[in-house]
Amino acid sequence: MYEFNYQRASSVADAAKKLGTGEDARLLAGGQTLIAAMKLRLANPTDLIDLSGIAELRGIKADKDGITVGAITTHAEVAASKDIQQHIPALADLAESIGDPMVRNMGTIGGSIANNDPAADYPAALVGLGATVKTNQRQITADDFFTGMFMTALEPGEIIESIHFPKPKRAAYMKFSNPASRYAIVGTFVADTGNGVRVAVTGAGACVFRVLQMEKTLSAKFAPDAVANIDVAADDLNADMHASAEYRAHLVSVMAKRAVEKAVAG
How many whole angstroms separate alpha carbon 230 and alpha carbon 227? 5
- Contacting other proteins (CB under 8 A), which of 100, 156, 233, 266? 100
CA distances (Å), origin 87, targets 15, 16, 82, 171: 32, 33, 9, 10
CB of 159 to ligand FAD, least distance (A): 4
Residue 182: closest CA among 28, 75, 70, 72: 75
CB of 13 to other proteins, least distance (A): 21
How many whole angstroms separate alpha carbon 159 and alpha carbon 114? 9
Q: Which residues contact 10 (CB under 8 A, 6 or more apart)?
A: 53, 54
Answer yes or no whether residue 106 interacts with other proteins by CB under 8 A: yes
Question: Cβ distance 57 to 32 under 8 Å?
Answer: no
Question: Cβ distance 160 to 166 under 8 Å?
Answer: no
How many Cβ atoms sit within 10 Å of the Cβ of residue 120?
23
User: Coil, strand, or helix at residue 111?
Assistant: helix
Q: Which stretch binds other proteins (CB under 8 A): 15-23, 99-107, 138-146, 150-158?
A: 99-107
CB of 15 to other proteins, least distance (A): 15
- Contacting other proteins (CB under 8 A), which of 134, 182, 216, 242? 182
CB of 1 to other proteins, least distance (A): 5
Q: Which stretch binds other proteins (CB under 8 A): 65-73, 83-91, 96-104, 252-260?
A: 96-104
Question: Cβ distance 184 to 176 under 8 Å?
Answer: yes
User: Coil, strand, or helix at residue 147?
Assistant: strand
Name 172's bridge partners.
Answer: 190
User: Coil, strand, or helix at residue 203?
Assistant: coil
CB of 173 to ligand FAD, least distance (A): 11
β-strand 160-166 against 5-8: which pairing, if any?
A: unpaired
How many whole angstroms separate alpha carbon 40 and alpha carbon 197? 41
Residue 108 or residue 217: which is nearer to ligand FAD going by CB?
A: 108
CB of 175 to ligand FAD, least distance (A): 8
Q: Which stretch binds other proteins (CB under 8 A): 165-173, 180-188, 224-232, 239-247?
A: 180-188
CB of 63 to other proteins, least distance (A): 28
The dihedral of CA 210, 72, 178, 189: what is its sign?
negative
Q: Out of other proteins, ligand FAD, none, which partner does residue 3 contact, by CB within 5 to 8 A per kind?
A: other proteins
Identify residues 27-46 at the interface with other proteins (CB under 8 A): 28, 31-32, 35-36, 38-39
Contacting residues toward ligand FAD, per CB under 6 A: 26-34, 36, 51, 71, 98-99, 103, 106-108, 110-112, 114-115, 117, 120-122, 154, 159-160, 181-183
Q: Which stretch binds other proteins (CB under 8 A): 95-103, 144-152, 223-231, 243-251?
A: 95-103
Interacting residue ranges for other proteins, rule: CB under 8 A: 1-6, 8, 28, 31-32, 35-36, 38-39, 48, 50, 52, 76, 99-103, 105-106, 180-182
